[in-house]
Structure 1
């Protein structure tokens, strides 16, 4: 009887010592926080958009942790970070900004100046000023305007290479032990950006004296670098143009006889059909400001070039 009692006590003690299942002791958010904490030994680099995330990751490899916080369904240029995101920026070891007034939220909060790097600073004098002040909305970000400074700087691939160089220099200052690897990685990235620039420059001969229309005013630097005669609308790929939108297009076409419209994303079938009625064909050039559904920055740009090469063969 005494032995049976002792065995029962031992069983209870062993059960009490058994660890609780993770689902009872750690929520998913706590697990995520713990995972981030495990990486906290690496310098934290926060970026304003996906191209800078791609450049930083290509250059730094695993020497730093690169974080891009904007949701996939928002335009990072008009994203409004919440308190947690703002705290993450303020606590970062390095903040890579696009410059050219890209992050509209940045002038409303205080960021540590010593940690902020403007990646377009090398060509500030050649930034394009946009006078059009039309306000519109798309996605969850609400209404916004494309007036002021044109900010899609990286689709001029020479400018993209300068932004990557500034990114490299900032990363080397942050993690000097990885300097040699970063310089090698940057050289590889620059070679690829130079190849994109060469291909686009070769293509530019095919649209000389050919007016073009863009669905959205984001192609200023692409047009300047590669000689496009381009006028822009305020259309979204997922929305079929209504009568007013078609009237706006026809007003442009009256003095700008384009045969192609460049879209940010794959347009709706109804949009393609409506454009065909006025003699316009559609081609996609995705600026890739946010994380793509598949591939990466470089594969998206290669797809863009292939689409243009096919359209203007």
Structure 2
């Protein structure tokens, strides 16, 4: 009888322990969710998403090094990776044309520039040219380099933060704190650039490529644009077009996306133009990160404001 009672008590204890374990799993003791997979279409969005999510998400940017993400065309297997992600982060403004025909699941897509879509800039002209292996493309249509207006960059970061919070509500505090720190950095860039732009005033500038529209508008800069590549020495026709612009727009500085060929620098020097780099940082930089590149850009452009 005692043995039977003891066995019954042991059995009851095991049952209660099992129930406790089951209740713990149902109430908040559940194993942690897997990290969501987030695919992005350019490096600034990768940087923003990584800053905001920390180690709580797998952020993937599949564009090869040295390629322009705006004109990159992914293979079908890459598109399938985007489609299977938990979150697909787009730049909007017509950036990465392939997304328009890729059948991306709408429930997974966040257009980070949607909040200021009414302020998109329509690019003028129909100049078609090549970026190395990416092939020929045109700059007609909507201007795409939204993030070098740093106030717009902060809005894009906010859109990513909102999407991550919706995806993982339990991580709202972490996301909010990280987003706040990132926004502080971006708005700090904005304030610094505005200060320098006031010193630059209406000084004429030449941009080597039509990617600076939002930057020029936000900071009130007087920019005219040609379509030159850093690694291509301009021919006589291109130089003639530049000279024609300079007659009515007497700039002393050309702003490049990347480090120009030394022969181009020498050629510009012959017509009184210095060369300066303001890297939009669409792809992963060789050194540093988005924030350090933008700080260097601003430090370099400050020299224009310091010029007599």
| TM-score clears 0.5 | yes
1:5-64 deviation digits (Å, cap 9, x = unpaired):
xxxxxxxxxxxxxxxxxxxxxxxxxxxxxxxxxxx9321110010000000000000111
Task: Give the distance between the partners of 2:271 and 2:171, measured in 1 at CA.
Answer: 56
Task: Give the distance between the partners of 1:312 and 1:84, measured in 2 at CA.
Answer: 48
Task: Give the distance between the partners of 1:139 and 1:296, measured in 2 at CA.
Answer: 24
The match for 1:307 is 300
The match for 2:17 is none
1:145-169 deviation digits (Å, cap 9, x = unpaired):
1110000000000000000000100
2:232 to 217, 239, 261: 239
Aligned 1:63-78 pairs, distance under 5 A: 63-78=56-71
Aligned 1:42-121 pairs, distance under 5 A: 42-121=35-114
1:40-94 deviation digits (Å, cap 9, x = unpaired):
9321110010000000000000111100011112110100000111000110110
Task: Give the distance between the partners of 1:131 and 1:240, measured in 2 at CA.
Answer: 24
Q: What SS is found at the alignment partner of 1:81?
A: coil
Task: Give the distance between the partners of 1:70 and 1:139, measured in 2 at CA.
Answer: 15
The match for 1:283 is 276
TM-score where L is the length of structure 2: 0.87
Q: What SS is found at the alignment partner of 1:231?
A: strand
The match for 2:255 is 262
Aligned 1:144-293 pairs, distance under 5 A: 144-293=137-286
Q: Structure 2 stretches of 5 or more lacking a match?
A: 1-32
Task: Give the distance between the partners of 2:199 and 2:208, measured in 1 at CA.
Answer: 20
Q: What SS is found at the alignment partner of 1:199?
A: helix
Q: CA deviation at 1:207?
A: 2.0
Task: Give the distance between the partners of 1:197 and 1:137, measured in 2 at CA.
Answer: 32
Task: Give the distance between the partners of 1:309 and 1:115, measured in 2 at CA.
Answer: 41
Q: Is the 8 A contact 2:122 2:143 kept in 1?
A: yes
Task: Give the distance between the partners of 1:139 and 1:299, measured in 2 at CA.
Answer: 27
Q: Is the 8 A contact 2:197 2:305 kept in 1?
A: no
TM-score where L is the length of structure 1: 0.86
Query: Which contiguous aligned blocks of 4+ residues in structure 1 show a shift greater than 2 angstroms?
Result: none
Q: CA deviation at 1:309?
A: 1.4
Task: Give the distance between the partners of 1:197 and 1:227, measured in 2 at CA.
Answer: 13
Q: CA deviation at 1:174?
A: 1.1
* Deviates further, 267-276 or 294-303: 267-276
Q: CA deviation at 1:310?
A: 2.6
2:132 to 124, 131, 139: 139
